[in-house]
Amino acid sequence: MHPHNPYAAPDSELDVLPQHCSRDGKFALLPSGCDLPARCIKCNAPVAIAPKKTTLYWHTPWLYLLILLNILIYIIVGLIARRTHAVTPYLCDQHRLRRRRRMQLCFGASLACIALTFVGDHFQSGAVFGLSIFGALIFFIVGLFVSRRLYANKITKEYTRIGGCGEAFLASLRQQ
Ligand SMILES: [Zn+2]
Domain containing 110: what range?
Answer: 93-148
- 128 and 58 within one domain: no
Do residues 5 and 36 share a domain?
Answer: yes
Q: How much is the pLDDT for 1? A: 43
DSSP state letters, 72-140: HHHHHHHHHH-EEEEE-----HHHHHHHHHHHHHHHHHHHHHHHHHHHHHHTT-HHHHHHHHHHHHHHH
Q: Judge if 44 and 75 occupy the same domain.
A: yes
Residues 63 and 103 in one domain: no
Gap from CA of 154 to ligand 1 centroid (Å): 24
Same domain for 144 and 170, yes or no, is no
How close is the Cα of 169 to the center of ligand 1, in Å? 9
**Span from the CA of 50 to the centroid of ligand 1 (angstroms):** 13
Residue 10 banded pLDDT, cuts 50, 70, 90:
very low
DSSP letter assigned to residue 146: H
Residues 47-97 pLDDT 10s: 999 999 999 999 999 999 999 999 999 999 999 999 999 999 999 999 999
Dihedral sign for Cα atoms in the order 164, 158, 51, 54 = positive
Cα 98 to averaged position of ligand 1 atoms, centre (Å): 9
Residues 57 and 85 grouped into a single domain:
yes
